[in-house]
Every structure is written in structure tokens, then in C-alpha cells.
Amino acid sequence: MQEGRPLAYFSKSIGPKAAALSTYDKEAMAIIEAVKKWKHYFSATSLIIRTDQESLKYIQEQKITEGIQHKLLLKLLGYNFTIEYKKGKENKAADALSRVKHAVSALFTTATSPAWVKEVVSSYQQDDKIKELIAECFVDKSTDNAYSFKNGILRFHNKVVVGKSTNLRQEILATFHNSELGGHSGERATYHRVKLVFHWQGMKQDVITFLKNCPVCQLNKSEHTPYPGLLEPLPVPDFAWAHISMDFIEGLPTSENKNLILVVVDRFTKYSHFIAMKHPITVQSVARAFSENVFKLHGMPLVIVTDRDRIFTSNLWQKLFKSLNIKLHMSTSYHPQTDGRQKE
């Protein structure tokens, strides 16, 4: 202060160790910190220190027994200082911040029930089993009973029992799984989180079903299936009509009572046969067309490559060509490039 007016304010929080000191030591520590902070103001002039701890004004006359007293005198050494006593009620400028009075508003406590409580109670009306359990709670009030009924809520080992309400159960699962609290955890974590608060029969299966239908989880679900093998091209045949491929061209307009073409391609020469046929086709009709148009000209092949049409995957087709010692190779599902030449 200068001429009765404050030039600057300084405050500092103290730790647990300093808070345990006596009032005398804490006031001495405050003087030490203030001198360190503002030493540039009074290094070349006289210094008056005013404190509401009266015993500090005799520090130069007292026997030094405490470390804090020794530290204070060392800090003031070299300064022309005087310590004066000032009553606390007169020391308003220094105590202004620490003694501000705050008006305390009246506090009221209002007891409210969460919205889900009403839904839980309502779910009991649809569940005859729970009604029986509630009735048993009124008859058997012993502490050995796992169920208890209080304030309209049935509890099992202090967990809220939920009745047969699919909507309520879905809301509970959504809260514990979809919210920031749930974070779209896995089946085990979600189940244990719900089980800590609620109880109903079939909870684990409900959690599994809920997670399987969660769009966020399905989009971000990691793939646990093994990586497929590398794609390999079909081997080049050694001679003509040893390896052939077969497929159908459908969706054509009817011409001369025919609306479908069976395509047979030799994979060595790329020579092709286009055989007109009529829907509906069967294994017998396709085998007959193959025999009359391909076999009589080129003989039986060693390998036939086809897609997964119902004709080529039927048991009769498989048994027919197996009896002729012909290998049947199927293309990869949803990968028409396997038999690309045929598709062209």
C-alpha cells in the first residue's frame, strides 16, 4: 500500500502440509511470500509490514526456535523494515477476498421417480408369474427370500425385475448399449452391465438378438472368417475338346418355339456350339442336346466347367458325368470371371 491505497494484490493457495502449521507460522509464511513477490518495490526504501498476528512484531526480540522464523529473518535481512500490528477488523483490504460473504438460497428437496419406474410397474400387469411373486412377498417377508417388493417395484437380489414388456426391454437394452454409457459394447459387456441393474428371464438371449439387429454394430463388426485363397487361372488344355465350358443364354425372344441357348465352348480352340432349346429345361433334355450336338462330333471331354445353375448342381447331372469319368468343375460363387469366355 502507498498513502493508504493498495497498489497490488497477491494471493496463493497452500498445500496440506502448510495448512497444518500454526497461525503464527502461516502469517510468517505470508510475509515471506509477499517479500519475494514485491522486493523490487522496497529494495531501496523503508518497509512497513502490517499483520493481524501481534506476536510477529516481536520476532527480532524472540529466541529463534522454528525454521519458519529463521527463514523469515533471513528473507528480511538487508531491508529497513518495521513490523506493526493491525487488528483484523481494520485490515479490510488484505482480508477482502478471503472474507466475502455469499448469500445462501433456501434449499428444497423434491422426491421424484424416474419415468421408467411407471413403465416397470405397468409391465407387471401383463405378467402372471410376477403377480404370483409379488403375492409371495407379502406372505414371506423373511430375509431368505430372494425377491422383495417395495414402493411398487419387485426386486430380485436388489435388481429391478422387468415384466413381459418387449418395448420396455428394448428401451433398457438401447440405453445400456447405444448410449454414450454403452458405447456399442459386445454381448458379454452389455449383458453384465444390464444384469447389474435389471433382471428378467431370457435376458442373455435378448441381448444377443438386440446386438445382432444393431445396424451400427453390424456395419463395424470385424471379420473373423479366414482369408480366402488366391484366385488361380484355369489350366490350359493339352488338346482340343479335352476341356469345355457350358452355360445358358436366357431371356431371349421366342423363335421357332425356342427361347434359350445352350453354349458349349472348347477352351483350347475357342470353337463354340450354340444349341437352341426351350424352357422348361431338365437334366435329361440338356444331356440329350449335348450328346446330339457335341459328343457325336468331338467325343467326351475330360473336364466340364460350368456355373452353379440348378441343372449343373443337381444330383442326376453329377452322377451322370461321374459315371463317364468326366470331372465337373464349378465356378466360384458370385464370380462370373471364372468362366469369362463363356460369358462373352
What residues does each domain of the chain span? 16-95, 115-220, 243-343
115-220 and 243-343 share one fold: no
Stronger pLDDT, 28 or 283, i.e. the higher one: 283
The residue among 153, 150, 151, 146 whose CA lies nearest residue 122 is 153
Instruction: Give tens-digit pLDDT for 148-173.
Output: 888 788 888 888 888 887 788 888 88
Residues 197, 155 contacting (CB under 8 angstroms): no
Burial (CB count within 10 angstroms: exposed 0-12, middle 13-18, buried 19+), residue 307: buried
Beta bridge partners of residue 5, listed in sequence order: 2
Residues 277, 289 contacting (CB under 8 angstroms): yes
Grade residue 284 by pLDDT with cuts at 50, 70 and 90. Answer: very high
Which pLDDT belongs to residue 118? 78
Which pLDDT belongs to residue 344? 53
Instruction: Using DSSP bridges, classify how beta strands 303-306 and 327-330 pair: parallel, antiparallel or unpaired.
Output: parallel
> For helices 166-177 and 187-195, what crossing angle results, to 10°?
110
Instruction: Give tens-digit pLDDT for 5-50.
Output: 777 777 877 778 877 777 777 777 887 788 778 777 776 677 788 8
Residues 147, 153 contacting (CB under 8 angstroms): no
pLDDT at 229 over 70: no
pLDDT at 277 over 90: yes
d(CA 165, CA 191): 18
Residues 76, 59 contacting (CB under 8 angstroms): no
Q: What is the mean pLDDT of residues 199-219?
A: 86
d(CA 211, CA 174): 10
pLDDT at 71 over 90: no
The residue among 275, 268, 284 whose CA lies nearest residue 248 is 275
pLDDT at 100 over 90: no
d(CA 261, CA 273): 10
Mean of pLDDT over the chain: 80
| CATH code, residues 115-220 | 1.10.340.70
Residues 91, 59 contacting (CB under 8 angstroms): no
243-343 belongs to which CATH class?
alpha beta
Instruction: Give tens-digit pLDDT for 265-276.
Output: 999 999 999 999
Q: Which residue is listed with cell 517479500?
A: 35
Beta bridge partners of residue 147, listed in sequence order: 156
pLDDT at 340 over 60: no
